[in-house]
Structure 1
């Protein structure tokens, strides 16, 4: 399906709400709006200048994963139409942005150190997994043996600082809940 007009949302600020997306079919290929494979690309007016931007929204997400500048058309006034190649590139870029964001979040919420086993036979891994609950965030401190089997686990404050020293102290104290 190809349309030569640029699709624009009804709202004055250019934002689409859930009802706008509910009306868009699962697959749609228009000059300023493409929806396919769980992604929506929409050309919007760039709020920072006189140009255009494109936003990529993953189905089910409230915010765009990617917003970037979009090329002007030949008349230097209207945006260049979306096409399959541009859409595929945008999907790839937006997917990479989401993947990196997930990796960064995982790194912030999951820490891991290795300490000497209390028995003197090898090493144990100690992990700290932060549970970012809005009301009462907390973290789980876990000791794992050489085979990845849990030896002990305690709940600690979300701001607990995991280091080799704090992990070793926890192990030396028989896995008693650390004071901080």
Structure 2
């Protein structure tokens, strides 16, 4: 029995689609799910960098970019700058998503005759029929009531107490709430 060398894997065939779509040019970098493009700043003589998340039509973040040594052209992108831009853009998107979630899902706990009741407002941003669901749960998490309200309903401590005190009757749709 002779020891024949085991066949070497074809490394070129093993390149992932992520690696094959990676671009590293002075004004355009793509990788890690993001594209950084250095663009002319229309507001002045400087440059900006736009960070676009893969699959998204618009930039998630656009910010100023450094001028090069010649004071006319932009500084070229490099690995460190790209990684910093990806981190910054990812954090920006995450904060935006958290803010949107907080806007669409609100919760207040109030004390009523029966004990502590958690009142939630969940806005459904449907393009055709936007609405919100106002719900109440007891301390054990058991549902007490749920009603559909206008997406403009303002959940506050006073509106939650009023809803509980009114035996969970649907609040009137009022523009001044």
For residues 119-138 of structure 1, the aligned pairs below 5 Å read 119=114, 122-138=115-131
Q: Specify every segment of 5 or more residues in structure 2 that has no aligned partner in the other structure, as ranges.
A: 1-19
The within-5 A match list for 1:1-180 is: 26-119=21-114, 122-180=115-173
Give the TM-score normalised by the residue count of structure 2.
0.80
Residues 28 and 34, structure 1, Cα contact 8 Å, conserved in 2:
yes
| SS of alignment partner, residue 91 of structure 2 | helix
Question: Following the alignment from structure 1 to structure 2, what is the Cα–Cα distance between the partners of residues 68 and 162?
Answer: 36
Distance 1:26 1:145 in 2: 52
SS of the residue corresponding to residue 166 of structure 1 reads: helix
Give how far 1:87 is off.
0.4
SS at match of 2:55: coil
- Structure 1 unmatched runs, 5+: 1-24
Q: Which stretches of structure 1, 4 residues or longer, exceed 4 Å deviation after superposition?
A: none
For the pair shown, the structure with the greater C-alpha radius of gyration is: 2
Query: Could you tell me how far 1:118 is from its partner in structure 2?
Result: 4.2
* TM-score under structure 1 length normalisation: 0.79
**Alpha-carbon separation, structure 1, partners of 2:166 and 2:127:** 31
**CA positional deviation for 1:136:** 2.2
The CA RMSD over aligned residues, in Å, is: 1.5
Aligned residues: 154
